[in-house]
Structure 1
């Protein structure tokens, strides 16, 4: 069994009510005998709201006001009409004061309770917000990881396609020329096929070296991203004959090496796609530095494609 206290702070019970009534009655009797004993009744003004239930607190204050008015009017019971009038006026004054102050105190307590409830709700909302921010940060980290993995996979596919389109085809051409040289009817034709095989081999070697450079951009070892992009654009324009313009906007800011390398590779891939598929006469590359982000825009006047169309097989 768990003992239950009779007096619970903030929740007046029968014991506290009985204590208040007995003390007030005793103070009334003593004041009847001598008005100076009303000092004991005065304490009821301060603890009625704590010892009595809320519905009885004002009645308790009025009982105390009767005792105090009797003392202030000269004693109990009033002996003359003047004393009765004084008793009535003093009782009304005491009642108005204590009931008014009690009402104000109750309202202030209600406001304090509302403020406490609001603070508690704000604390809960703040806790939920912090939890949501933590979940959002975790989701953002997961998305960044997935984006990086997707970028790595895309880079692998790009390299595989580039090796197939350049190096593998070049080696196939070398083998074809060597086979033709071995089957040539005379020395002159054999030497012609051998020269072609050597040219194809040199071209394939150059493509292999270029692929290796794309894995780790050499251009960024000596130049910042804007200068590396400018050189890349100029070399591409000279090689393809497409009029290309490179523009930098905003204030240049230092970038993480991986970010700079990724942007350079994106520009190289976009320009490569323009050369292979767009049939463009003009192209433009814009690198824009903003407050908290950087953007790379590659555009051309080529024929383009419908993003909703299914690719040809």
Structure 2
């Protein structure tokens, strides 16, 4: 909300009301009303622009001044009263409802004071108009205060996003420019190296503070001998973290690693002789920049871990559901080979084993290609989808039919990535589980509209497929970009169709309205089950 424009418009509206009333009131003095109102508005705008004055104080003073002018002269009083209501609104916009009320009360007090001095306090007609416009001003002040509150909420949200964007951009730039990198272990190695040089330490360890309810965590030891020697340091470290000061236990010292008055971790040193106090204090001061680097590296490592957690879980499920089961099946074939009764049966089992090994290697290659395949900045979603479809077709018995319909302009990169991963999951499911011979993939992109349809001619979903990990992952990805996911089961030998549609409300021949981020599973006869 542009406050300056709104308050300027309020003053202009007040002037327009004054001028209109002056034109409709015989003998009101149009020129005089225009001069006085314009002078008040100009003075208020000038004072509001002064950096040393608060706008809400200017509004209160401007409203009070207008009331003093109206009450003292009684000239054009009826025509100038609307300006008092305008200033109550301006005060509400600048300072909230408290300043709006203060302005209304101040205006009423100024009118009462000046009419008392002028001896016109008993004029009922004037007070009927004055009370009416003051009441209007009180109502407008509430409106102005509500506008201020709404603008403040939206401003805080916008500011949060701006701050987050600025910080992420800085992180991206800094991580590529930092000569020391953002690896916590390399930072701790430098810390322990300096302590060893300055204090002639035999053993060193860096312990970082855990979460609120967890114990301090050892991050790094200077050597294997150090990890064996420094085993009873928990109380020493806890005391150092709690007090933020050095803890001296003879040969063993706990040095706080502080970044911006916060203890990031503790450096524990074990020396041959107790080090001098001034030497330990000097090391603490010298390690202050390293403590800041360690804090930054730990924070970056946490962000990176959270960012990769989802992909790690997907990989774990992929290994468990695919590669682990394939390797287990190889074990069964080896068992059959061991217990083969004659040479012909043994040769047959060896052939089966060789075939299974070939299939598992193909699965591994597809999994690696799946991970490496992504939408490049110089290409589009269709290009990445084509590469994956070719890989599926060359390493399976499926015949892949791909249809691309793309506009020249692109979707956002994050949206393209999510759509690609959903399509990959659907195509992999068809390859592994459908038992079909054909796979049809249609990709339509007309930003902001996009739709990908993956259909096979296999034996359908089968029991339990609707609640699989793969479907849940696809649903989460679709919800993340506000897309609709629909899975249709045609029944035995009629195949399965998965479609993901983005911006379903968009006017496009393929679009069908549906709740954003929803998933629908349709069984034969189109019975909706989830």
* Structure showing the higher helix proportion among its residues: 1
Report the TM-score, using the length of structure 2 for normalisation: 0.32
